[in-house]
Structure 1
Amino acid sequence: MHELTTTPATGQDSFLTLDHITDATPMGGKLLPSGAGATFQVWAPAAREVRVLWDYRKSAGNWLHHRQARLVAIANGRRAGFVPGLKAGDRYMLHVTGPVGGTEGLKRDPYARDLTETPMWPECQCLLVDPAAFPWHDQGWRPPAFHELIIYQLHVGTWYIPPGRRHGTFLDVVAKLPYLKALGITAIQPLPISEFPTQFSLGYNNVDPFSPETDYGVHDDDPALNDYLTVVNARLHDAAPGLAPYQRKDITGTASQFRILVDMCHVYRIAVLMDVVYNHAGGDFGDRSIYFFDRKPYGNHNDSLYFTDRGWAGGLVYAYWNNDVTQYLIDNAVMFLTECHCDGFRYDEVSVIRNEGGEHGWRFCQWLTDTCRYVKPEAIQIAEHWPVDGAVVEPAATGGAGFDAASLRGAVAQAASGRDAVVDMAAVAAQLRSPAVRDHWRAVQAIEDHDLVYQGRKPRIARLADGADARSWYARSRSRVALGLVLTAAGIPHLFMGQEFLEDKPWHDDPESADRIGWSGLDTDRHMSDFLRYTRELIALRRSLPALTASGIHIFHVHNANRVLAFHRWVPDVGEDVVIVASLAETTWHDYTLGFPGAGDWREVFNADVYDHWVNPWVTGNGSGVHADGAPLHGLPASARITIPANGIVVFAR
């Protein structure tokens, strides 16, 4: 075994030692708990040599390394070594020499937990991170049960941009946590937050999955960072006055700021679900990424180590047949659950993994879900799979992929179709009970998301309802019905940013787009503030009535001509009956006879019509409730005559 080099950037034959290297040594650069230094382990089977470069210092405007040494080949294409004296925040890079005929040059650590802000991508360098040093405040936190989830999807870069700032950051989301708490959602689902190569992005083209996007951090040399620290600590004090405030060192670096977001969400009793992309990576990889990591000759994508020659969304599909590749992706998920305290996942386009990876892709899904369930049993795992397939949410032990839930979208959006559109009430009703999956709670119900309402695709719900005037009564009322169905249906409701206050502009990931979220409208647009109140109080109703989060659902009345549907929700083996009635008719139905699950008094506990010019002085409804004393009807033991507001939704409970 050779001694560690002590000469600056020369000593081309010097090797690192294997001190502290064991079978349990993790991949990538990892600081030792003792503070003795860092271990490094990389997978580069075709490389002739891999060096670690460290001791970076700034000279003439450039960051230059002053020390380097070779990693030692150990087994299975891996190389490892130990560098004493390294600490959190230190910069490092890898230098890989490929096989004969290949290339050589710098590479980022595929497992790097953070990247530098300067130099920026693609010249950025890796930063050592000590996850154990972060001062978590979420001791005792447990995420909501799956059936209690109400998911709010947001894009960090564009959701909330303070005046004078170029784009949104993790800390800007923290600043708005009181808003999300008041809204009543129980989980946020940020669009993918891993490092991507473009100036702005949805996040699905990431190339460094273990590192958070540096643009989502407030840089260390930004004078505003101290102001952000003040705001973050104010939010912490508001929610939990007895907890210790963050210090300046705790907020340094993008990785730490992401942890602050997760930590603060938990303080506010909000779960964090990561949107992860394991079906492909890239677009633009650059020369220093995992693409051709062991530096075989460029050309054939199948020689790129982590990828195949199959393309998807402008990037390349992972090589699921290779266990080292799938372990890399599984390690990424485990990092989010353990080091970052995240509460679950939304897996992007699992159908691509299945279609392009075949049996290897399916087996990867099983290993992934089984591992995450072992590491954190309470973490929910949501699969985006088109078309919806019940096998995706079946246990791996019985041949399924092992995901907990699957995304549904589309049919309920018909509830907001334009004035002259033909609405298939049966199709709307079918989605309310999620026929494609075995258990109703396994369906994630969405009528708006990042795909559907992205600029140039489908209109947002208010604009879908009335293309000429997204603030008309028609647009407002239809939007209330559509969202009302999502929040009263069986399954997990999913809201997209701005949907809660009638945002009608298409969204774009460009923070300078004219179609940014219109927060100012909450102060100037009565219809927006009314709709936000509607959303908040409907979410509160969902959380207060056990039947609305349970699995029991029976759609007992669907009438296309009348444009009315009604369904019964209950807690199996308990009761807690609730009846929801929705109408897409442009006129009010009076004395409409409907079946009820039992005779006697039923309270009208919610009426969407109240929220039009809240409190609506012309509200149409059933007063305090109705008395079900009529004959059996619609397969139920009693019936009552009720009033259904035009384009309305009413909820009855015992």
Structure 2
Amino acid sequence: MSVLGASLLGESVAFTVWAPRCRSVELVLEGVRPQPLTAREPGLFRVTIARLPEGTRYRYRLDGARHRPDPASRWQPEGVHGPSVVVDPRRFVWTDQEFRGRDFADLVFYEVHVGTFTPAGTFEAIIPYLPALSDLGITALQLMPIAEFPGSRDWGYDGVDLFAPQSTYGGPRGLRRLVDACHARGVSVFLDVVYNHLGPEGNYLAEFGPYFTDRVTTPWGPAVNYDGEGSAGVRRHVVENGRVWVNEFHIDGFRLDAVHAIHDTSPVHILTEFAQAVREEAARSGRRVHLVAESHDNDRRLVLPVAQGGLGLDAVWSDDFHHALHQRLTGETLGYYGDFAGEQHLTRALAEGFAYQGEESTYWRCRRGTPSADLGGERFLIYLQNHDQVGNRPQGERLGALVPFEAAKLAAGLMFAAPAVPLLFMGEEYGDTATFQFFTSFLDPPVAEAVGRGRADDLSRFGWTRPVPDPNAPNTFVSSRLNHQLARATRHRALRDYYARWLALRRTHPALGARDKALARAACKDSMLVLERAAQAGGEVRVVANLGSAPRDFTPSAKWRLLLDSADAQFGGPGKVPLLAPYQLLLYEVEP
């Protein structure tokens, strides 16, 4: 089967495109007469051109009229409307042959938006920060979507060229350099990929084939056709996209965006087919790849083995932990936060993964979730902040802007103590004060206006009443850029030290390193939360946390040895206090 896009074959280039809606497809090169592509398999057109150098720009002419970029283009240096470029992946010299990936349970994720992480906003500009992230204890860099999108400012969920790394980020060479540098430090690289919809501008796929369906809808645009007429070619496009990321870019894993919006009634679900394909691709070079699903359904089937009726993915994002802890610390009850009033949601999320396991949800107006207590803790990825939970607030405030400093540390301690896989949002570890707002850079004014209106409507339905910044305004993007200099300031440095201490304990203490939820217990009464953790091989810890704003009486057992105190002066706290201070968290080792 031919590889989609422009593939190097010795000194020749094979151009392959799936275009069943076209009667004819021609290859248009600069200064050369258009070359017709020959129909091979149904809807699949191909032509091979000899002695064509890397860097050659090209387009396809559809039915003798419309000039369009390649749906499987590897590089769009002039943007989503410009020509595609031939890229030779063999030209890059990789140095990561010794890196084979990590066990998923050992990962500590760090979510990054490439454009706002540094002033340069490129893949390569991230590289100088890798030593500090590695020293902190980060083992997986998760990049927000990088498929080519309109302009230079976007979260990435408006991408339209799935195979092309964003040109303003540095394109394919910049991405390869970043991945190679990460692997040199033992850091995996995950991509956030969007297979439930494509962006509204520069999306020419429907002119080539039946990529979309009107049988179902998504909040962001037409749904992708995974099970209707002509869907075999659509599925191939997505599966091959995953193979290319693994093969040509050495990607170690994927975050699958909003899989609840992927509709597929096929005998083999597209997510299962995708997972099997990318794992096979990685295995060819002795590597492994992991897949994490985002879903608001709390659906255990996502991580169950295929033999047990599941989809066979590795883990799910667990919003419930965030929602329950955020609600408890901020008191917010708008939108879905209203479902999480009450400490029982937090203790259940801590010990079992999902807080909602089939109970009625007021916000969703239905029963939500499935049982999760029997699933391993490595099946759940939890967080205090991420692009959605920060960026989908009208002003994009981070948790540190909403709660006291001591409460932010308490929250981090509970995340790291939980039997789950943690994710940090960029800048969280030192308490960056920059907001993270929703931003775009659509070139088509009607599209920009429609997206802005839709954004305001979404937030209004949630219950927010504050004004919403214009997503397409450049300053909305600029105000979301990190200020790494803050990490040197006293309190910010203390917070980073606190994060580093927790991550070191997770690596070295067997009870904190275990992901066995069967040995985890959580209880809360009168704002006093106690989390018990243990390991099969031995080792036991207790976490005691004051979730309230008033001090509490507390006397530890004589067999408990203090490992960490969030109120310690070295972590920017008030120091030793006679009572359990507001938002103080204590970690003890239980001695035999």
> What's the TM-score once normalised by structure 1's chain length?
0.74
Following superposition of structure 1 onto structure 2, how do residues 64-83 of structure 1 map, counting pairs within 5 Å?
65-83=31-49
CA–CA separation in structure 1 for the residues paired with 2:106 and 2:328: 24
* Corresponding residue to 2:503 among 517, 536, 539: 539
Cα distance per residue 1:37-64 (max 9 Å; x no partner) = 111221112312111122x3xxxxxxxx
Do the aligned partners of 1:416 and 1:461 also contact (CA within 8 Å) in 2?
no
CA–CA separation in structure 1 for the residues paired with 2:577 and 2:141: 35
CA–CA separation in structure 1 for the residues paired with 2:98 and 2:576: 45
* Corresponding residue to 1:582 among 521, 528, 545: 545
* Corresponding residue to 1:308 among 175, 190, 213: 213
Shift of 1:109: 1.3
Identify if the C-alpha distance between structure 1 residues 146 and 122 changes in structure 2 by more than 3 Å, giving closer, same or farther: closer
Unaligned runs of 5+ in 1: 1-23, 57-64, 99-103, 162-166, 218-253, 294-303, 466-474, 595-599, 622-642
Tell me if 1:429 matches 2:378.
no
> What CA RMSD, in Å, does the superposition of the two structures yield over aligned residues?
2.5
- Residue identity in the other structure for 1:31: L
Identify if the C-alpha distance between structure 1 residues 69 and 29 changes in structure 2 by more than 3 Å, giving closer, same or farther: same
Q: Which has the larger radius of gyration?
A: 1
Cα distance per residue 1:257-283 (max 9 Å; x no partner) = 110010101112111011000001011
Identify if the C-alpha distance between structure 1 residues 313 and 611 changes in structure 2 by more than 3 Å, giving closer, same or farther: farther
CA–CA separation in structure 2 for the residues paired with 1:362 and 1:447: 34
- Residue identity in the other structure for 1:51: E
Residue of structure 1 equivalent to 2:324: 411
Unaligned runs of 5+ in 2: 355-370, 440-473
CA–CA separation in structure 1 for the residues paired with 2:562 and 2:243: 46
Shift of 1:158: 0.5
Shift of 1:149: 0.7
Residue of structure 2 equivalent to 1:277: 194
Shift of 1:505: 4.1
Shift of 1:613: 6.0
Do the aligned partners of 2:510 and 2:539 also contact (CA within 8 Å) in 1?
yes
Q: How many residues align?
A: 517
Identify if the C-alpha distance between structure 1 residues 216 and 313 changes in structure 2 by more than 3 Å, giving closer, same or farther: farther
Residue of structure 2 equivalent to 1:352: 261
Q: State the secondary structure of the residue aligned to 2:492.
A: helix
Following superposition of structure 1 onto structure 2, how do residues 514-553 of structure 1 map, counting pairs within 5 Å?
514-523=479-488, 525-553=489-517
Identify if the C-alpha distance between structure 1 residues 200 and 85 changes in structure 2 by more than 3 Å, giving closer, same or farther: same
Do the aligned partners of 2:71 and 2:205 also contact (CA within 8 Å) in 1?
yes
Residue of structure 1 equivalent to 2:206: 291
CA–CA separation in structure 2 for the residues paired with 1:37 and 1:324: 25
Identify if the C-alpha distance between structure 1 residues 419 and 327 changes in structure 2 by more than 3 Å, giving closer, same or farther: closer
Identify if the C-alpha distance between structure 1 residues 609 and 361 changes in structure 2 by more than 3 Å, giving closer, same or farther: farther
Identify if the C-alpha distance between structure 1 residues 613 and 152 changes in structure 2 by more than 3 Å, giving closer, same or farther: closer
Identify if the C-alpha distance between structure 1 residues 445 and 611 changes in structure 2 by more than 3 Å, giving closer, same or farther: farther
Cα distance per residue 1:203-244 (max 9 Å; x no partner) = 001100000111112xxxxxxxxxxxxxxxxxxxxxxxxxxx
Cα distance per residue 1:495-552 (max 9 Å; x no partner) = 11121122344312557433432323233x4322221221122112212223223123
Residue of structure 1 equivalent to 2:376: 439
Identify if the C-alpha distance between structure 1 residues 350 and 285 changes in structure 2 by more than 3 Å, giving closer, same or farther: same
Identify if the C-alpha distance between structure 1 residues 324 and 557 changes in structure 2 by more than 3 Å, giving closer, same or farther: closer
Identify if the C-alpha distance between structure 1 residues 508 and 476 changes in structure 2 by more than 3 Å, giving closer, same or farther: same
Identify if the C-alpha distance between structure 1 residues 361 and 154 changes in structure 2 by more than 3 Å, giving closer, same or farther: farther
Residue of structure 2 equivalent to 1:486: 415
Tell me if 1:619 matches 2:576.
yes
Cα distance per residue 1:176-209 (max 9 Å; x no partner) = 2122122211111111011012441100011000
Shift of 1:557: 5.3
Residue of structure 2 equivalent to 1:39: 14
CA–CA separation in structure 2 for the residues paired with 1:557 and 1:449: 24
CA–CA separation in structure 1 for the residues paired with 2:569 and 2:149: 42
Shift of 1:306: 1.1
CA–CA separation in structure 1 for the residues paired with 2:522 and 2:48: 69
- Residue identity in the other structure for 1:214: S
Following superposition of structure 1 onto structure 2, how do residues 377-388 of structure 1 map, counting pairs within 5 Å?
378-388=288-298
- Residue identity in the other structure for 2:110: Y
Shift of 1:620: 3.6
Identify if the C-alpha distance between structure 1 residues 516 and 82 changes in structure 2 by more than 3 Å, giving closer, same or farther: closer
Residue of structure 1 equivalent to 2:457: none
Do the aligned partners of 1:581 and 1:644 also contact (CA within 8 Å) in 2?
no
343-352 vs 494-503, greater mean Cα deviation: 494-503
CA–CA separation in structure 1 for the residues paired with 2:524 and 2:186: 41
Cα distance per residue 1:367-389 (max 9 Å; x no partner) = 11222233336311000011211
Do the aligned partners of 2:521 and 2:531 also contact (CA within 8 Å) in 1?
yes
Identify if the C-alpha distance between structure 1 residues 259 and 515 changes in structure 2 by more than 3 Å, giving closer, same or farther: closer
Following superposition of structure 1 onto structure 2, how do residues 121-520 of structure 1 map, counting pairs within 5 Å?
121-161=79-119, 167-217=120-170, 254-285=171-202, 289-293=204-208, 305-309=210-214, 310-321=216-227, 322-353=231-262, 357-360=263-266, 363-376=269-282, 378-409=288-319, 410-417=323-330, 424-433=342-351, 434-435=353-354, 436-437=371-372, 438-454=375-391, 455-456=393-394, 459-465=397-403, 475-508=404-437, 510=439, 512=475, 513-520=478-485
Shift of 1:290: 2.0
Cα distance per residue 1:2-26 (max 9 Å; x no partner) = xxxxxxxxxxxxxxxxxxxxxx431
CA–CA separation in structure 1 for the residues paired with 2:244 and 2:106: 25
CA–CA separation in structure 1 for the residues paired with 2:377 and 2:342: 21
Identify if the C-alpha distance between structure 1 residues 122 and 445 changes in structure 2 by more than 3 Å, giving closer, same or farther: closer
CA–CA separation in structure 2 for the residues paired with 1:458 and 1:158: 14
Do the aligned partners of 2:188 and 2:252 also contact (CA within 8 Å) in 1?
yes
Tell me if 1:53 matches 2:28.
yes
Tell me if 1:96 matches 2:62.
yes
Identify if the C-alpha distance between structure 1 residues 543 and 348 changes in structure 2 by more than 3 Å, giving closer, same or farther: same
Residue of structure 1 equivalent to 2:523: 558
| Percent sequence identity over aligned pairs | 28
Cα distance per residue 1:599-647 (max 9 Å; x no partner) = x744311111115664x573248xxxxxxxxxxxxxxxxxxxxx74431
Shift of 1:363: 1.4
Do the aligned partners of 1:533 and 1:611 also contact (CA within 8 Å) in 2?
no
Residue of structure 2 equivalent to 1:248: none
CA–CA separation in structure 1 for the residues paired with 2:544 and 2:512: 14
CA–CA separation in structure 1 for the residues paired with 2:438 and 2:296: 23
Residue of structure 2 equivalent to 1:86: 52
- Residue identity in the other structure for 1:609: A
CA–CA separation in structure 2 for the residues paired with 1:584 and 1:388: 26
Tell me if 1:651 matches 2:568.
no
Identify if the C-alpha distance between structure 1 residues 601 and 414 changes in structure 2 by more than 3 Å, giving closer, same or farther: same
Shift of 1:318: 1.0
Do the aligned partners of 2:18 and 2:43 also contact (CA within 8 Å) in 1?
yes
CA–CA separation in structure 2 for the residues paired with 1:490 and 1:431: 10
Q: State the secondary structure of the residue aligned to 2:114.
A: coil
Cα distance per residue 1:150-174 (max 9 Å; x no partner) = 101010000111xxxxx51111111
